[in-house]
Amino acid sequence: SRSINLAVIPGDGIGQEVVAQGLKVLSAVLPQDVKLETKEYDFGARRYHATGETLTDADLELLRQHDAILLGAIGDPSVPSGVLERGFLLKLRFAFDHHVNLRPSRLLPGVRTPLAGQPEIDFVVVREGTEGPYTGNGGTIRTGTPHAVATEVSLNTAFGIERVVRDAYARAQARPRKKLALVHKNNVLVHAGHLWTDIFNKVGEEFPEVTTEYMHVDAATIYLVTQPERFDVIVTDNLFGDIITDLAAAISGGIGVAASGNINPAGEFPSMFEPVHGSAPDIAGQGKADPSATVLSVALLLRHLGYEAEAARIEEAVSVDLAERVGKPARSTDEIGDALAVRVAG
Amino acid sequence: SRSINLAVIPGDGIGQEVVAQGLKVLSAVLPQDVKLETKEYDFGARRYHATGETLTDADLELLRQHDAILLGAIGDPSVPSGVLERGFLLKLRFAFDHHVNLRPSRLLPGVRTPLAGQPEIDFVVVREGTEGPYTGNGGTIRTGTPHAVATEVSLNTAFGIERVVRDAYARAQARPRKKLALVHKNNVLVHAGHLWTDIFNKVGEEFPEVTTEYMHVDAATIYLVTQPERFDVIVTDNLFGDIITDLAAAISGGIGVAASGNINPAGEFPSMFEPVHGSAPDIAGQGKADPSATVLSVALLLRHLGYEAEAARIEEAVSVDLAERVGKPARSTDEIGDALAVRVAG
Ligand SMILES: CC(C)[C@H](C(=O)O)[C@@H](O)C(=O)O
Ligand SMILES: CC(C)[C@H](C(=O)O)[C@@H](O)C(=O)O
């Protein structure tokens, strides 16, 4: 009989509330014969304040035992900027080699977009997750003096680029439109940019059916708001991916519905799924958070573990639920979770 | 008697056509007693193909004699990516220490935006122009092999940050709303991010009337499309500035109307003014290009040289011209230039 052994990290702020809905929907969608085991971990601001720890080697050892990880949100104003991001979120991505950071953008019917004319939006960004300017490489000298100098080093390897580029080609190949865009800034960041471009072109020879284009990151932000329908699959560097996926989320319904997967495709380590939004301390504990992004992240998790039909059922349920909201009074986090659980079970 | 000794660089593609209109409007707006001298330079793709040169030391010596520089656009598909950007555009910014890259965004009446509901947009981005990942620092080893590694180094100095931050505070102080946002990614790029944040906070003590906020660059892209009215002045790093100013241009009427100044505030070197758009080879020579961005760049140039009334007259003329376009047949580059010249002279 089948089983899913899931690590659950509710985290901070609204993380608690939205993860509860994610688990509710997950339980409801799974067939009877799949045994779901969950273990909760208390990472985030409370643990940091209590122990000074963000993510220890022992923690990683425990997390490693799981099939996948579901995360709500990590971050709180009481913790200095960078501590939990670098000490937990990025540490986990690097430790578990989550090199494919998958962020789909679909503007679902009835969902509001800040763009005029309700454009067709249905693309996915494959963001590199373990290199670029995210490696922590760099430093500061003469801190606090008028002569301070700080550096940030972007590290890019053929190994790291090729695997994520190949993953993106395979995803493009599997989609009806079969289009792939490389987003970078190869006219200025020439060293990294040429390496990305060369590998992108070379791997492309293995995928003759995929139509490709290259776009500078600045131009990509223009096209995302003027012609979002032109995108199918985008592959890009860690930092550019961070920036354009927030914009992508904004135009396709907002971070309330944006899901993401931090994936280790070969399965050497458990992959981690989380909403794109943060912990939103201003609305935490009030039942105001939209759990849709977390529920859609559960769908990505299920797809990753091979439960394609269940993933599709969740996505369909969220789509119908969003469409039915139009003109209705707002529901609580819990009510939305209940409605989705009923719908996927049905 | 007063005089302006202007270096004119039409450049490639539509650069030629739009610069001609910029000069037409400049001549028309200047008072009789101001002597305008212009000298044209042939930088760009043709010069590069003919001589292999992009910008020599002798060229820089000549350009230095001028009071300011007006540029159309540089870049052509026949030249490998990066050659003209690094060899001309960036070389000029660095050689003439253009550390304040000024990019105003105003959504003028009647101008189309991809955003729903015609929001109020009136902010200016002060982008650092001489540091960050734009310094060319970095390299590649094992090029062409599966073991290639490429780096890009972002260089940030207290000296470089402080001067641009102070410039941005002064601009915010001079505007009615007196708001300044620092855009960075200090939770990930902690070395550079903390240096920027510390200096931003420290310089802020000199400007108690200015209200400040900090925003991550990814979040900034969300706010630019969901709440653009919240911005007044933004100060940011070279690369983040590159990205968000293209987005800012897109939401406030497109790159057809986006002007920019590459400014050396102390006047040790001539400042350079140019439209944000590129050379658009696909429409070059057809009279289809909108010269408004170049004409608005001429306004920034005049303001920089102390001709505030003339700058304001140009901005007003462009604003009226854009509003009057609604529902009318398209005019040629030349016709728009003529109309603007008549209007500013009037
Ligand atoms: C919180 C931060 C470290 C993170 C990132 O920059 O990757 C976030 O913005 C994201 O996109 O997941
Ligand atoms: C052409 C390129 C070098 C330039 C930049 O990246 O600064 C352009 O995008 C700009 O914004 O002026």
CB contact under 8 A, A85 and B187: yes
User: How many Å apart are CA B313 and CA B325, to the nearest integer?
Assistant: 18
- DSSP string for residues in B81-105: TTHHIIIIIHHHHHHTT--EEEEEE
Distance from the alpha carbon of residue A242 to the mean position of ligand 1, in angstroms? 6
Residue whose Cα lies nearest atom 12 of ligand 1: it is A276
Which of B84, B89, B236 to mutate to test ligand 2, by most ligand atoms within 8 A of the CB atom? B89
**Mean pLDDT value of segment A160-175:** 98
Q: Give me the count of residues in chain B.
A: 346
CB contact under 8 A, A86 and B187: yes
CB contact under 8 A, B242 and A185: yes
Which numeric CATH code is attached to A1-98+258-346? 3.40.718.10
The shortest CB-CB distance from B195 to any of A148, A155, A218 is to A148
Q: Tell me if chain B has a CB within 8 Å of the CB of A230.
A: no
User: How many Å apart are CA B42 and CA A213, to the nearest integer?
Assistant: 31
Reported as a single tens digit per residue, the pLDDT across A18-51 is 999 999 999 999 999 999 999 999 999 999 999 9
Contact predicate A321/A292, CB 8 Å? yes
pLDDT value, residue B318: 97
Residue A226 exposed, middle or buried by CB count within 10 Å (0-12, 13-18, 19+) = middle
Reported as a single tens digit per residue, the pLDDT across B211-262 is 999 999 999 999 999 999 999 999 999 999 999 999 999 999 998 899 999 9
Domains B1-106+255-346 and B113-121+130-252 share a fold: yes
Place of tokens 């859609």: A296
DSSP code of residue B43: T
Q: Which of A185, A232, A237, A307 is catalytic?
A: A185
Antiparallel, parallel or unpaired: β B179-184 and B211-216: parallel
Q: Rounded to a whole number, what is the distance in Å from the CA of B116 to chain A's nearest CA?
A: 4
pLDDT value, residue A255: 87
Contacts 24+ apart (CB under 8 A), A29-35: A29/A302, A29/A310, A29/A313, A29/A314, A29/A344, A29/A345, A30/A4, A30/A307, A30/A310, A31/A310, A33/A1, A33/A2, A34/A1, A34/A2, A34/A3, A34/A4, A34/A307, A35/A1, A35/A2, A35/A3, A35/A4
pLDDT value, residue A132: 98
Reported as a single tens digit per residue, the pLDDT across B60-71 is 999 999 999 999
Percent of chain A with pLDDT over 90: 97
Q: Tell me if chain B has a CB within 8 Å of the CB of A74.
A: no
The shortest CB-CB distance from A221 to any of B144, B198, B243 is to B243
Mean model confidence pLDDT for chain B = 97
Q: Which of residues 91-110 of B touch A (CB under 8 A)?
A: none
Sheet architecture: strand order including B149-157: A138-141, A149-157, B149-157, B138-141
Domain extents in chain B: 1-106+255-346, 113-121+130-252
pLDDT value, residue A326: 87
Reported as a single tens digit per residue, the pLDDT across A202-226 is 999 999 999 999 999 999 999 999 9
Distance from the alpha carbon of residue A10 to the mean position of ligand 1, in angstroms? 17
Q: Tell me if chain B has a CB within 8 Å of the CB of A80.
A: no
Crossing angle for the helix pair A292-304 and A333-345, to the nearest 10 degrees? 40
Residue whose Cα lies nearest atom 2 of ligand 2: it is B85
Q: Which two tokens stand for residue A182?
A: 């490389």
Reported as a single tens digit per residue, the pLDDT across B143-188 is 999 999 999 999 999 999 999 999 999 999 999 999 999 999 999 9
Q: Any idea which residues of B carry the catalytic annotation?
A: 134, 185, 218, 242, 246
The model's pTM is 0.97
Q: Is the pLDDT of residue B81 over 90?
A: no
Residue B189 exposed, middle or buried by CB count within 10 Å (0-12, 13-18, 19+) = buried
Q: Is the pLDDT of residue A102 over 80?
A: yes
CB contact under 8 A, B191 and A217: no
Q: Tell me if chain B has a CB within 8 Å of the CB of A194.
A: yes
pLDDT value, residue A251: 98
Q: Which of A35, A39, A202, A218 is catalytic?
A: A218
DSSP code of residue B115: B
For ligand 2, residues with CB inside 6 Å are A 187-188, 218; B 85, 89-90, 242
Q: Which of A59, A76, A167, A242 is catalytic?
A: A242
Q: Is the pLDDT of residue B88 over 90?
A: yes
Residue B335 phi, psi dihedral angles, 5° rounding = -65, -40
Residue whose Cα lies nearest atom 8 of ligand 1: it is A242
Q: Is the pLDDT of residue B1 over 90?
A: no
pLDDT value, residue B326: 87
Q: Which two tokens stand for residue B325?
A: 């376009």
| Best residue in B74, B107, B163, B225 for a mutation probing chain A (most A CBs within 10 Å) | B225
CB contact under 8 A, B114 and A144: no
Residue whose Cα lies nearest atom 11 of ligand 1: it is A242
Residue B319's pLDDT band, with cuts at 50, 70 and 90, is: very high
- Look up the CATH superfamily of A113-252: Isopropylmalate Dehydrogenase (3.40.718.10)
Residue whose Cα lies nearest atom 2 of ligand 1: it is A85
The shortest CB-CB distance from B221 to any of A86, A139, A250 is to A250
Which numeric CATH code is attached to B113-121+130-252? 3.40.718.10
When the candidates are 3.40.718.10, 3.20.20.80, 3.60.20.10, 3.40.50.1820, the CATH number that belongs to B1-106+255-346 is 3.40.718.10
Distance from the alpha carbon of residue B187 to the mean position of ligand 1, in angstroms? 8
